[in-house]
Protein backbone atom coordinates (compact mmCIF):
# COMPACT_ATOMS: atom_id res chain seq x y z
CA UNK A 1 0.00 0.00 0.00
CA UNK A 2 1.13 3.54 -0.76
CA UNK A 3 0.40 6.55 1.47
CA UNK A 4 1.23 9.92 -0.09
CA UNK A 5 1.71 13.02 2.04
CA UNK A 6 0.68 15.77 -0.37
CA UNK A 7 2.51 18.54 1.50
CA UNK A 8 4.00 19.10 4.94
CA UNK A 9 6.25 21.49 6.83
CA UNK A 10 7.48 19.00 9.42
CA UNK A 11 11.19 18.22 9.63
CA UNK A 12 10.59 14.63 8.58
CA UNK A 13 7.89 11.97 8.30
CA UNK A 14 9.22 9.72 11.02
CA UNK A 15 5.97 9.55 12.97
CA UNK A 16 3.97 8.67 9.86
CA UNK A 17 6.44 6.01 8.75
CA UNK A 18 6.37 4.43 12.20
CA UNK A 19 2.58 4.15 12.07
CA UNK A 20 2.29 2.85 8.50
CA UNK A 21 5.22 0.45 8.63
CA UNK A 22 3.19 -1.54 11.15
CA UNK A 23 0.68 -2.37 8.38
CA UNK A 24 3.23 -2.70 5.62
CA UNK A 25 2.45 0.60 3.90
CA UNK A 26 4.99 2.83 2.17
CA UNK A 27 5.00 6.57 2.99
CA UNK A 28 5.91 9.00 0.20
CA UNK A 29 6.39 12.69 0.89
CA UNK A 30 5.48 15.18 -1.85
CA UNK A 31 5.82 18.94 -2.15
CA UNK A 32 2.51 19.73 -3.84
CA UNK A 33 1.00 23.19 -3.69
CA UNK A 34 -1.52 23.25 -6.53
CA UNK A 35 -4.35 20.94 -7.58
CA UNK A 36 -2.30 19.82 -10.58
CA UNK A 37 0.66 18.94 -8.37
CA UNK A 38 -1.59 17.09 -5.93
CA UNK A 39 -3.11 15.12 -8.82
CA UNK A 40 0.34 14.08 -9.98
CA UNK A 41 1.46 13.14 -6.48
CA UNK A 42 -1.73 11.15 -5.83
CA UNK A 43 -1.26 8.73 -8.73
CA UNK A 44 -1.31 5.17 -7.42
CA UNK A 45 -2.00 6.18 -3.83
CA UNK A 46 -4.14 4.15 -1.46
CA UNK A 47 -4.38 7.06 0.98
CA UNK A 48 -3.41 10.72 1.22
CA UNK A 49 -2.30 12.82 4.14
CA UNK A 50 -2.91 16.49 3.51
CA UNK A 51 -1.85 19.75 5.14
CA UNK A 52 -2.51 22.86 3.03
CA UNK A 53 -2.62 21.80 -0.64
CA UNK A 54 -6.03 21.58 -2.38
CA UNK A 55 -7.33 18.04 -2.94
CA UNK A 56 -9.91 18.23 -5.72
CA UNK A 57 -11.69 15.85 -8.13
CA UNK A 58 -8.60 15.45 -10.32
CA UNK A 59 -6.67 13.97 -7.42
CA UNK A 60 -9.40 11.42 -6.75
CA UNK A 61 -9.57 10.50 -10.43
CA UNK A 62 -5.80 9.99 -10.50
CA UNK A 63 -6.01 7.52 -7.62
CA UNK A 64 -8.81 5.00 -8.31
CA UNK A 65 -7.70 2.85 -5.35
CA UNK A 66 -7.80 5.77 -2.92
CA UNK A 67 -9.57 4.87 0.32
CA UNK A 68 -8.90 7.77 2.69
CA UNK A 69 -7.71 11.37 2.89
CA UNK A 70 -6.46 12.38 6.31
CA UNK A 71 -6.23 16.11 7.05
CA UNK A 72 -3.63 17.47 9.42
CA UNK A 73 -6.06 19.66 11.35
CA UNK A 74 -9.64 20.29 12.35
CA UNK A 75 -10.91 22.05 9.22
CA UNK A 76 -11.19 20.16 5.95
CA UNK A 77 -11.81 23.03 3.52
CA UNK A 78 -8.72 21.93 1.55
CA UNK A 79 -10.54 18.74 0.52
CA UNK A 80 -13.48 18.48 -1.89
CA UNK A 81 -15.86 16.54 0.35
CA UNK A 82 -18.46 15.96 -2.34
CA UNK A 83 -15.89 14.50 -4.73
CA UNK A 84 -14.52 12.26 -1.99
CA UNK A 85 -17.94 11.00 -0.94
CA UNK A 86 -19.02 10.33 -4.53
CA UNK A 87 -15.96 8.12 -4.97
CA UNK A 88 -16.34 6.32 -1.65
CA UNK A 89 -13.29 7.91 -0.04
CA UNK A 90 -13.22 8.63 3.68
CA UNK A 91 -12.14 12.13 4.71
CA UNK A 92 -10.68 12.19 8.21
CA UNK A 93 -9.60 15.02 10.50
CA UNK A 94 -8.22 15.52 14.02
CA UNK A 95 -11.04 17.30 15.82
CA UNK A 96 -9.69 17.74 19.36
CA UNK A 97 -5.90 17.92 19.28
CA UNK A 98 -5.31 21.66 19.83
CA UNK A 99 -8.27 22.90 21.85
CA UNK A 100 -6.06 24.19 24.63
CA UNK A 101 -3.47 25.72 22.30
CA UNK A 102 -5.93 27.63 20.08
CA UNK A 103 -8.04 28.89 22.97
CA UNK A 104 -4.90 30.12 24.72
CA UNK A 105 -3.65 31.74 21.51
CA UNK A 106 -6.97 33.52 21.02
CA UNK A 107 -6.77 34.86 24.55
CA UNK A 108 -3.16 35.90 23.93
CA UNK A 109 -4.14 37.85 20.81
CA UNK A 110 -7.03 39.44 22.67
CA UNK A 111 -4.79 40.61 25.50
CA UNK A 112 -2.08 41.74 23.10
CA UNK A 113 -4.67 43.96 21.39
CA UNK A 114 -6.31 45.18 24.56
CA UNK A 115 -3.02 45.91 26.35
CA UNK A 116 -1.37 47.31 23.19
CA UNK A 117 1.64 45.00 23.62
CA UNK A 118 2.95 45.18 20.05
CA UNK A 119 2.54 48.95 19.85
CA UNK A 120 4.51 49.50 23.07
CA UNK A 121 7.24 47.11 21.94
CA UNK A 122 7.57 48.83 18.57
CA UNK A 123 7.68 52.27 20.19
CA UNK A 124 10.42 51.24 22.61
CA UNK A 125 12.49 49.86 19.73
CA UNK A 126 12.15 53.32 18.17
CA UNK A 127 13.38 54.92 21.40
CA UNK A 128 9.97 56.13 22.58
CA UNK A 129 9.27 55.24 26.24
CA UNK A 130 5.74 56.60 26.77
CA UNK A 131 2.76 54.81 28.33
CA UNK A 132 0.35 57.21 26.65
CA UNK A 133 1.08 55.74 23.19
CA UNK A 134 -1.32 52.87 23.86
CA UNK A 135 -4.28 54.90 25.10
CA UNK A 136 -7.06 54.05 25.62
CA UNK A 137 -6.60 50.80 27.52
CA UNK A 138 -9.57 49.40 29.41
CA UNK A 139 -9.86 47.16 32.44
CA UNK A 140 -10.93 43.68 31.30
CA UNK A 141 -13.10 42.82 34.27
CA UNK A 142 -16.69 43.64 33.42
CA UNK A 143 -16.13 43.91 29.66
CA UNK A 144 -17.96 41.62 27.25
CA UNK A 145 -16.27 39.00 25.08
CA UNK A 146 -18.39 37.77 22.18
CA UNK A 147 -17.72 34.38 20.64
CA UNK A 148 -18.65 33.67 17.04
CA UNK A 149 -19.17 29.91 17.22
CA UNK A 150 -19.29 27.76 20.33
CA UNK A 151 -17.49 24.49 19.71
CA UNK A 152 -14.86 22.93 21.96
CA UNK A 153 -12.24 25.66 21.46
CA UNK A 154 -14.45 28.65 22.31
CA UNK A 155 -15.85 26.67 25.23
CA UNK A 156 -12.34 26.50 26.64
CA UNK A 157 -11.75 30.15 25.82
CA UNK A 158 -14.93 31.07 27.70
CA UNK A 159 -13.62 29.39 30.84
CA UNK A 160 -10.24 31.11 30.55
CA UNK A 161 -11.82 34.50 29.84
CA UNK A 162 -14.14 34.23 32.81
CA UNK A 163 -11.14 34.02 35.13
CA UNK A 164 -10.25 37.54 33.95
CA UNK A 165 -13.71 38.76 34.86
CA UNK A 166 -14.98 39.00 31.29
CA UNK A 167 -18.67 38.45 30.64
CA UNK A 168 -19.08 36.01 27.75
CA UNK A 169 -21.82 35.92 25.11
CA UNK A 170 -21.93 33.74 22.01
CA UNK A 171 -23.52 33.54 18.59
CA UNK A 172 -23.97 30.01 17.27
CA UNK A 173 -27.21 29.07 15.49
CA UNK A 174 -26.45 25.37 16.00
CA UNK A 175 -26.08 25.43 19.79
CA UNK A 176 -29.16 25.91 21.93
CA UNK A 177 -29.55 28.40 24.75
CA UNK A 178 -29.58 25.74 27.46
CA UNK A 179 -26.22 24.28 26.42
CA UNK A 180 -24.65 27.73 26.39
CA UNK A 181 -26.10 28.45 29.82
CA UNK A 182 -24.33 25.35 31.17
CA UNK A 183 -21.08 27.19 30.39
CA UNK A 184 -22.36 30.47 31.90
CA UNK A 185 -22.52 31.95 28.42
CA UNK A 186 -25.46 33.92 27.07
CA UNK A 187 -26.81 33.07 23.62
CA UNK A 188 -27.27 36.06 21.30
CA UNK A 189 -28.17 36.70 17.68
CA UNK A 190 -25.45 37.89 15.31
CA UNK A 191 -26.66 41.48 15.56
CA UNK A 192 -26.49 41.24 19.34
CA UNK A 193 -22.97 39.87 19.16
CA UNK A 194 -21.83 42.86 17.10
CA UNK A 195 -23.61 45.46 19.18
CA UNK A 196 -22.81 44.19 22.67
CA UNK A 197 -19.27 42.85 22.40
CA UNK A 198 -16.22 44.81 23.51
CA UNK A 199 -14.17 42.10 21.81
CA UNK A 200 -15.13 39.32 19.40
CA UNK A 201 -13.24 36.06 18.97
CA UNK A 202 -14.02 34.12 15.79
CA UNK A 203 -14.34 30.31 15.96
CA UNK A 204 -16.60 29.33 13.08
CA UNK A 205 -15.72 26.83 10.35
CA UNK A 206 -15.40 28.17 6.82
CA UNK A 207 -18.62 27.44 4.94
CA UNK A 208 -20.74 29.24 2.36
CA UNK A 209 -22.69 30.61 5.31
CA UNK A 210 -19.68 32.00 7.17
CA UNK A 211 -17.45 33.18 4.31
CA UNK A 212 -17.16 36.96 4.67
CA UNK A 213 -19.42 36.87 7.73
CA UNK A 214 -17.55 39.85 9.16
CA UNK A 215 -18.00 42.35 6.36
CA UNK A 216 -18.37 46.13 6.12
CA UNK A 217 -21.86 46.05 7.59
CA UNK A 218 -20.70 43.94 10.52
CA UNK A 219 -17.78 46.21 11.37
CA UNK A 220 -20.00 49.28 11.12
CA UNK A 221 -22.28 47.72 13.75
CA UNK A 222 -19.43 47.10 16.22
CA UNK A 223 -18.40 49.52 18.94
CA UNK A 224 -15.58 51.87 17.94
CA UNK A 225 -13.50 50.73 20.93
CA UNK A 226 -13.93 47.01 20.17
CA UNK A 227 -11.37 44.55 18.83
CA UNK A 228 -11.70 41.36 16.81
CA UNK A 229 -9.63 38.19 17.05
CA UNK A 230 -9.58 35.34 14.53
CA UNK A 231 -7.99 31.93 15.10
CA UNK A 232 -10.46 30.03 12.89
CA UNK A 233 -10.35 30.56 9.11
CA UNK A 234 -9.09 33.69 7.41
CA UNK A 235 -11.90 34.04 4.90
CA UNK A 236 -14.53 34.39 7.63
CA UNK A 237 -13.33 38.01 7.79
CA UNK A 238 -13.36 40.33 4.78
CA UNK A 239 -9.85 41.73 5.27
CA UNK A 240 -10.42 44.71 2.98
CA UNK A 241 -13.49 45.64 5.01
CA UNK A 242 -11.51 45.15 8.22
CA UNK A 243 -8.71 47.43 7.01
CA UNK A 244 -11.23 50.10 6.04
CA UNK A 245 -12.99 49.78 9.40
CA UNK A 246 -9.70 50.24 11.25
CA UNK A 247 -8.78 53.19 9.07
CA UNK A 248 -12.18 54.81 9.68
CA UNK A 249 -12.02 54.19 13.44
CA UNK A 250 -15.07 51.92 13.38
CA UNK A 251 -13.18 49.40 15.53
CA UNK A 252 -9.98 49.74 17.56
CA UNK A 253 -7.85 46.74 16.66
CA UNK A 254 -7.51 43.17 15.43
CA UNK A 255 -5.50 40.09 16.34
CA UNK A 256 -5.30 37.55 13.52
CA UNK A 257 -3.67 34.14 13.37
CA UNK A 258 -5.29 33.34 10.02
CA UNK A 259 -5.67 35.18 6.73
CA UNK A 260 -7.49 34.35 3.47
CA UNK A 261 -4.10 34.02 1.76
CA UNK A 262 -1.26 32.45 3.73
CA UNK A 263 1.36 33.77 3.64
CA UNK A 264 -0.10 37.04 2.40
CA UNK A 265 1.34 38.32 -0.86
CA UNK A 266 -0.02 41.78 -0.20
CA UNK A 267 -2.35 42.65 2.65
CA UNK A 268 -3.67 45.99 3.88
CA UNK A 269 -3.31 44.63 7.42
CA UNK A 270 0.43 44.00 7.42
CA UNK A 271 2.41 46.76 9.12
CA UNK A 272 -0.51 48.36 10.93
CA UNK A 273 0.08 49.31 14.57
CA UNK A 274 -3.51 48.38 15.41
CA UNK A 275 -3.19 44.83 14.07
CA UNK A 276 -1.34 41.91 15.68
CA UNK A 277 -0.53 39.10 13.23
CA UNK A 278 0.79 35.59 13.87
CA UNK A 279 1.55 32.97 11.18
CA UNK A 280 -1.28 30.43 11.68
CA UNK A 281 0.47 29.11 14.76
CA UNK A 282 -2.43 28.88 17.20
CA UNK A 283 -2.60 25.10 16.83
CA UNK A 284 1.04 24.54 17.71
CA UNK A 285 2.77 23.18 20.77
CA UNK A 286 5.42 20.46 20.91
CA UNK A 287 2.78 18.15 22.34
CA UNK A 288 0.01 19.02 19.88
CA UNK A 289 2.11 18.50 16.76
CA UNK A 290 2.91 14.93 17.79
CA UNK A 291 -0.72 14.26 18.69
CA UNK A 292 -1.88 15.71 15.37
CA UNK A 293 0.38 13.62 13.20
CA UNK A 294 -0.02 10.36 15.07
CA UNK A 295 -3.80 10.64 15.40
CA UNK A 296 -4.50 11.22 11.70
CA UNK A 297 -1.97 8.60 10.60
CA UNK A 298 -3.46 5.98 12.91
CA UNK A 299 -6.97 6.74 11.66
CA UNK A 300 -5.90 6.38 8.02
CA UNK A 301 -4.17 3.13 8.96
CA UNK A 302 -7.45 1.86 10.43
CA UNK A 303 -9.18 2.42 7.10
CA UNK A 304 -6.38 0.71 5.16
CA UNK A 305 -6.64 -2.19 7.59
CA UNK A 306 -10.36 -2.60 6.90
CA UNK A 307 -11.65 -0.93 10.04
CA UNK A 308 -14.02 2.01 10.46
CA UNK A 309 -12.31 5.38 11.10
CA UNK A 310 -12.67 7.16 14.44
CA UNK A 311 -12.79 10.71 13.04
CA UNK A 312 -14.71 10.68 9.76
CA UNK A 313 -15.92 13.98 8.33
CA UNK A 314 -18.12 12.53 5.59
CA UNK A 315 -20.59 9.66 5.54
CA UNK A 316 -20.16 6.66 3.23
Cα separation, 188 vs 197, in Å, equals: 11
Question: Active site residue: 119, 196, 211, 280, which one?
Answer: 280
Question: Could you confirm whether 17 is annotated as catalytic?
Answer: no
Q: Which residues contact 202 (CB under 8 A, 6 or more apart)?
A: 148, 149, 214, 228, 229, 230, 231, 232, 236, 237
- Among 156, 147, 242, 251, residue whose Cα is nearest residue 202: 147
Question: Active site residue: 143, 183, 203, 233, which one?
Answer: 233
Q: Which residues contact 93 (CB under 8 A, 6 or more apart)?
A: 70, 71, 73, 74, 75, 76, 296, 311, 313
Cα separation, 115 vs 109, in Å, equals: 10
DSSP per-residue string spanning 190-217:
HHHHHHH-SEEEE-----TTTTT-B-HH
Rounded to 5 degrees, φ, ψ at 12 are -160, 180
DSSP assigned state of 133: G
Q: How many residues can be counted in the chain?
A: 316
Question: Could you confirm whether 183 is annotated as catalytic?
Answer: no
Cα separation, 166 vs 151, in Å, equals: 19
Question: Active site residue: 43, 179, 261, 262, which one?
Answer: 262
Question: Could you confirm whether 105 is annotated as catalytic?
Answer: no
**Active-site residue set:** 233, 262, 280
Amino acid sequence: MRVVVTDYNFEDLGIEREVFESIGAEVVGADAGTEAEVREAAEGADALLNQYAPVGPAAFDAAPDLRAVGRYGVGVDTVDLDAATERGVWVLNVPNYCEDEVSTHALSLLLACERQVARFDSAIEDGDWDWKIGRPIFRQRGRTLGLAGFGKIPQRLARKASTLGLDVIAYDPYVDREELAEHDVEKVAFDGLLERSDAISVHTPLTDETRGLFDREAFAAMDEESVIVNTARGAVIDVEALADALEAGEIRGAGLDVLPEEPPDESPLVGREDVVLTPHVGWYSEESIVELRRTVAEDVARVLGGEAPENPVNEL
